[in-house]
Amino acid sequence: MMTIHIEKLTFDAIIGILDFERTSKQTVIVETKINYIYEKNSIINYAIVINLIENLIKNKQYRLLEDALESLSEELIREFPQISYLYLKISKPNIIKNASVALSKEWNNAT
């Protein structure tokens, strides 16, 4: 079993339901942990994972973090069926003046 850790993937995107969130980009931080069964011909390229996450969030402009998490998990599991465990966390560090908010989800056995 191998585990990929992607930490502090930071970029700006339109995400959220508040009026100003729909018109101004805000900083988003994504973290993920991916367990998969390693075989020489069945690796998971972390650069592809990073591009997939960043492109989906930027292009889809999700209203809800819940929708973003569901969509990301579906795409990652589709792209990499060897995933046995997936953890995703999306943070919005600047949305509230004195706090960073985040939502996370875990999937076991690609469910």
Q: How many whole angstroms separate alpha carbon 80 and alpha carbon 69?
A: 16
Joined tokens for residue 98: 């004195």
Q: Which domain holds residue 70?
A: 2-108
CA of residue 20 relative to chain centroid, distance:
22
pTM, to two decimals: 0.90
* Mean pLDDT value across the chain: 93
* Per-residue confidence band for 76, with pLDDT thresholds at 50, 70 and 90: very high
Number of domains, the chain: 1
CATH of the domain at 101: 3.30.1130.10
- The yes-or-no verdict on residue 111 having pLDDT over 60 is no
